[in-house]
């Protein structure tokens, strides 16, 4: 059991390094950070990711929650005001642009979507219509609730 | 221990090198903006990488096989983890600021769920199936993409719905948000401060577009609108993932299970009718 967990840990680490290579390049080419800065940034973010995934694997024996929630929560706790290491975490993570992981994500997602391109083309117009509707709904309903709450509290 | 990684590298080296080359090319193109009169269309390197990657897939140019395409799907999840870590750090660093803004903003986050009731029925009427769940449960910004991919897997229809809205939103989001903000403001039914809060939908660029437009429309509130928008946006970034896990997705799935059998039936009859009319699907 322990050996299996270990193998998955190293496998995940290997994959994160593989993906990280592309993200570090994006951070340098697209966002003009230096190599050292990019490596520092990815060291922090990659480690948080690895920790989150590992905790999620362990916790899934008890309760099934999305892995990404653990990853995001690990980042939040390490950077929150109560964290003793918050300064290092925040400064190093700042060396990595918010959208630096997005290009690698897009590239892999694109290759993955390659098997459904025809399907996507057929649905194109519908998907644009849905996107417009989803954005409209979110904005108007938020404004509606905010307006009601502000009125109730007497702020406006 | 390393053998499984080595095995994967040997088997799928084309996918990894392909993604590397795609990313470098897309980053060198950079962010491209088109002025279309009513606003600016923004194309991020990610969009180029996705489109070019898709063109090389087994459906069109056939540079990658079905199996390699599947291996790329697994890598999407790996890439999401550092992305989510970055969002988590951003949320943690701003935690104290958010506590200051108070409960009004927090309640307003529930308004983001309102979109489900409007968009899901329409999506079903347009003939979407399980894609509709992923497309309609939220505004589908970065953290939602991570969540859906994680829960349903990279190849699930739900994930495809989320991904499609994510990509389309990243292209038209800023133009559409500033257009929408000015239209809704002209109705004069919501207070400018409420509109400012509503601008924070979980995407920095969309928020800036909407808040910027509102600030020009309401010069008296020009300073406070972006502050509220920014705070609400930050809050969405933090609460979005919990909102989606515990309320958004369960609610959408429940609504889907209730509506789909009914709407799906009407839709099936319509297609049959149109087939009779000679317009085969």
Mean pLDDT per 10-residue section of chain B, whose length is 281 residues: 71 92 94 77 84 85 87 88 88 74 76 90 92 93 89 91 89 85 91 92 83 89 84 82 92 95 75 42 33
Q: What is the pLDDT of residue B3?
A: 56
Strand-pairing partners, residue B33, are B42
Q: What is the pLDDT of residue B276?
A: 41
Tens of pLDDT, residue by residue over A39-52, are 999 999 999 999 99
Instruction: Write down the domain spans for chain B.
Output: 1-70, 96-273
Q: What is the pLDDT of residue A47?
A: 97
Q: What residue of B is the nearest CA neighbor of A107?
A: B49
SS3 content of chain A, % helix, strand, coil (to 5): 80, 0, 20
Q: Is A83's CB within 8 Å of B92's CB?
A: yes
Q: What is the pLDDT of residue A26?
A: 95
Q: What is the pLDDT of residue A30?
A: 92
Are A52 and A73 in contact, with CB atoms under 8 Å apart?
yes
Strand (E) positions, chain B? Answer: 32-35, 40-43
For chain A, say whether B264 makes contact (Cβ under 8 Å). Answer: no
Q: What is the pLDDT of residue A112?
A: 87
Residues of B in contact with A84 (CB under 8 A): none
For chain A, say whether B135 makes contact (Cβ under 8 Å). Answer: yes
Range 30-59 of B in CB contact (< 8 A) with A: 30, 44-59
Q: What is the pLDDT of residue B212?
A: 85
Q: Is B93's CB within 8 Å of A146's CB?
A: no
Q: Is A15's CB within 8 Å of B5's CB?
A: yes
For chain A, say whether B193 makes contact (Cβ under 8 Å). Answer: yes
What is the distance between the alpha carbons of residues A146 and B107, in angstroms, rounded to a whole number?
7
Are A74 and A55 in contact, with CB atoms under 8 Å apart?
yes
For chain B, say whether A85 makes contact (Cβ under 8 Å). Answer: no
Q: Please identify every stretch of chain A with a pLDDT value under 50, giving residue numbers as ranges.
A: 1
For chain B, say whether A81 makes contact (Cβ under 8 Å). Answer: yes
């Amino acid at each position: 059991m322990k050996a299996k967990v270990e193998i998955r840990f190293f496998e995940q680490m290997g994959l994160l390094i593989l993906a990280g290579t592309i993200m570090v390049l994006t951070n340098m080419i697209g966002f003009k950070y230096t190599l050292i800065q990019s490596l520092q940034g990815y060291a922090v973010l990659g480690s948080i990711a690895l920790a989150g995934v590992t905790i999620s694997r362990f916790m899934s024996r008890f309760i099934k929650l999305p892995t990404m929630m653990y990853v995001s929560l690990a980042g939040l706790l390490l950077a929150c005001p109560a964290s003793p290491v918050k300064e290092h975490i925040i400064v190093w993570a700042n060396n990595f642009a918010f959208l630096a992981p997005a290009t690698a994500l897009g590239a892999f997602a694109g290759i993955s979507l390659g098997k459904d391109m025809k399907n996507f083309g057929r649905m194109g117009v519908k998907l644009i219509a849905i996107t417009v509707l989803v954005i409209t709904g979110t904005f108007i309903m938020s404004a509606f609730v905010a307006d009601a709450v502000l009125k109730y509290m007497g702020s406006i | 221990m390393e053998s499984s990684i080595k095995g994967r590298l040997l088997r799928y080296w084309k996918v990894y090198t392909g993604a590397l080359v795609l990313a470098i090319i897309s980053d060198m193109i950079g962010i491209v903006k088109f002025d279309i009169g009513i606003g600016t269309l923004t194309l991020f390197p990610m969009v180029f990488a996705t489109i070019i990657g898709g063109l090389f897939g087994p459906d069109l140019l056939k540079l990658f096989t079905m199996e390699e395409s599947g291996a790329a799907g697994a890598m999407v999840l790996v890439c999401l983890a550092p992305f989510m870590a970055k969002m988590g750090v951003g949320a943690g660093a701003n935690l104290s600021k958010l506590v200051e803004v108070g409960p009004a903003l927090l309640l307003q986050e529930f308004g983001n769920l309102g979109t489900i009731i409007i968009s899901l029925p329409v999506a079903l009427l347009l003939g979407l199936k399980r894609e509709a769940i992923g497309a309609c449960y939220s505004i589908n910004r970065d953290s939602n993409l991570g969540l859906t991919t994680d829960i349903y897997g990279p190849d699930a229809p739900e994930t495809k719905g989320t991904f499609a809205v994510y990509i389309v939103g990243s292209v038209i989001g800023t133009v559409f948000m500033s257009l929408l903000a000015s239209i809704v403001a002209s109705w004069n039914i919501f207070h400018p401060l409420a509109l400012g809060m509503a601008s924070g939908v979980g995407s920095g660029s969309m928020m800036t577009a909407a808040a910027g437009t509102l600030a020009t429309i309401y010069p008296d509130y020009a300073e406070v609108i972006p502050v509220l928008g920014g705070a609400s946006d930050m809050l969405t970034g933090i609460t979005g993932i919990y909102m989606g896990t515990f309320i958004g997705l369960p609610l959408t799935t429940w609504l889907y299970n209730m509506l789909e059998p009914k709407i799906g039936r009407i839709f099936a009859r319509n297609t049959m009718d149109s087939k009779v009319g000679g317009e085969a699907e």
